Amino acid sequence: VVDCGDEGLDLSDNGEIDVYDNVILDTRGGRIGADDNLEEIRARNTFGHTGAHASTASQQTGAGATN
């Protein structure tokens, strides 16, 4: 599990990394941005919302996070 907070994680300059089967979580409901391959990233992952409860986020990420 990688907790990026509101800063996010920019993988756009690394062509060797594929991100899939993860739950993309943030406090804004799973909005992400990417310069390259945004639609491919969206297709390979699911989105969640952490809200105010850290326990909810850990439950969501524990089930499907593989990276």
Each residue of 3-41: pLDDT tens digit?
Answer: 666 666 676 676 676 666 677 766 665 666 677 777 877
pLDDT of residue 63: 41
Q: What distance in Å separates the CA atoms of residue 53 and residue 9, rounded to the nearest whole number?
A: 21
pLDDT of residue 54: 44
Close Cβ partners of 2 (under 8 Å, ≥ 6 residues apart)? 9, 67
pLDDT of residue 37: 74
Q: Which helix (H) or strand (E) holds 51?
A: none
